[in-house]
Amino acid sequence: MAKKNTDIKKSKGLFAEAMVRLRRNKGAMIGLGIFLVIVLIALLSPVFFDYETDVIKQDYSQVKLAPCSDHVFGTDEFGRDILARVCWGSRASLAIAAIVTVIALTIGAVLGSLAGYYGGKVDMVIMRIMDIFMAIPGMLLAICIVAALGPGTEKLCIALTISSIPSFSRIVRGAVLTVRNSEYVRAATAIGSKDMHIIFSHVLPNGLAPIIVQTTLRFATIILSIAGLSFIGLGIQAPQPEWGSMLANARSFIRDYSYMCAFPGLAIMITILSLNLLGDGLRDALDPRLK
């Protein structure tokens, strides 16, 4: 019992130290701040903008208005307020990305830990299948799945989840392998700890650092993919607001109404930027070797 306590204390100490480093990292803190603001916007946008009346209702008296005091970001070709749509757009991107990340990470973690911890045939079978998935570039795999299933939010989720599982399981497997081959896990095996105990109290906490970093960056990739797929018409369908599909519409008017292209693109970029800043900071904080 006493031994267990010191174990916990130690891993906490390591983590606390990483948090101190993270807090000192200006970029990471800015990234985290921006990201939290975006999450807040996503959560609060229904308070400020009503979906029926502000976001999807077409108003032909207010078509293609340049940014003004009534419509800070202007209006689109159907007279919808771009600010309201950009804010609502964050809900779709963040929600889908979160769902996809959680599901893909869970499945990937299970497959990756099994492959990494048990090795041998289990590893071979799982990883060969993953290799085949990896042989198709992620975005194309997603396109392929959406093409077969047809467009739509749920189908987009399925496509992105499937195309994210291989890279998550690779990351987890890599982390598990590194830790499994470490001296302290050998030591734990030598004193007769059970597999499950080793996995939960040694392998996962110690392998967590790269997984956290990669998950953050992967989250960004998924948001980009949502926007990309919607941009080419394979993602979220009109009239639901989404940054990529807003850009796809706006591009027809780019010559004369370029502001319509500006805001959805900026929204994507700022979101990805904040996640990249956070991911970089996490990597530096969790991997002091690279300081």
Partner 1 sequence: MIKFIIKRLLALIPVIIGVTFMVYFIMSLAPGDPALLLLGDDATPEQIAALREEMGLDQPFIIQYGRYMVNLFKGDLGTSYKTKNAVSAEVFSRFPNTLILAGFSTLISIILALPLGVFAAVKQNSLFDTISMVIALLGVSIPIFWFGLLLILLFALKLGWFPVSGFNDGIKSLLLPGLALAFQHMAAIARTTRSSMLETIRQDYIRTVRAKGLPENKVITRHALKNALIPTITVIGLQIGGMMGGSVLTESVFAWPGIGRLMINSIQGRDTPMVLGCILMFSITFSIINLIVDIVYGFVDPRIKAQYK
> By the 8 A CB rule, do 211 and 146 touch?
no
> By the 8 A CB rule, do 14 and 288 touch?
no
Least distance (Å) from partner 1 to the CB of residue 89?
Answer: 13
Q: Closer CB to partner 1, residue 198 or residue 264?
A: 264
29 binding partner 1? (CB under 8 A): no
Query: Quick one: which of 17, 1, 10 has its CA closest to 205?
Result: 10
Q: Closer CB to partner 1, residue 115 or residue 203?
A: 115
From the list 133, 153, 188, 201, which residue makes contact with partner 1 (rule: CB under 8 A)?
A: 133
Question: 75-114 mask for partner 1 (x: CB under 8 A)?
Answer: ----------------------------------------
Least distance (Å) from partner 1 to the CB of residue 122?
Answer: 19
Rounded to an integer, what distance in angstroms lies between the CA atom of residue 122 and that of residue 255? Answer: 56
136 binding partner 1? (CB under 8 A): yes
Which 3 state secondary structure label does DSSP give 233?
Answer: coil
Least distance (Å) from partner 1 to the CB of residue 140?
Answer: 5
Query: Residue 54 corresponds to which amino acid?
Result: D
Rounded to an integer, what distance in angstroms lies between the CA atom of residue 113 and that of residue 116? Answer: 5
Rounded to an integer, what distance in angstroms lies between the CA atom of residue 138 and that of residue 133? Answer: 8
Site size with partner 1, rule: CB under 8 A: 44
Name the phi and psi angles at 75, rounded to 5.
Answer: -125, 160
Site for partner 1 in 242-271 (CB under 8 A): 244, 247, 251, 254-255, 258, 261, 264-265, 268-269
Q: Where are the beta strands (DSSP E) in the chain?
A: none
Rounded to an integer, what distance in angstroms lies between the CA atom of residue 168 and that of residue 112? Answer: 8
Least distance (Å) from partner 1 to the CB of residue 41?
Answer: 18
Rounded to an integer, what distance in angstroms lies between the CA atom of residue 226 and that of residue 142? Answer: 10
Question: 213-242 mask for partner 1 (x: CB under 8 A)?
Answer: -------x---xx-xx--xxxx--------
CA 80 to chain centre: 28
Q: Closer CB to partner 1, residue 102 or residue 140?
A: 140
Q: Closer CB to partner 1, residue 164 or residue 202?
A: 164
Q: Closer CB to partner 1, residue 115 or residue 268?
A: 268
Query: Quick one: which of 29, 45, 34 has its CA closest to 90?
Result: 45
Least distance (Å) from partner 1 to the CB of residue 75?
Answer: 19
290 binding partner 1? (CB under 8 A): yes
Query: Residue 75 corresponds to which amino acid?
Result: T
Query: Residue 156 corresponds to which amino acid?
Result: L
Q: Which residues bind partner 1 (CB under 8 A)?
A: 131-140, 143-150, 220, 224-225, 227-228, 231-234, 244, 247, 251, 254-255, 258, 261, 264-265, 268-269, 272-273, 276-277, 280, 290
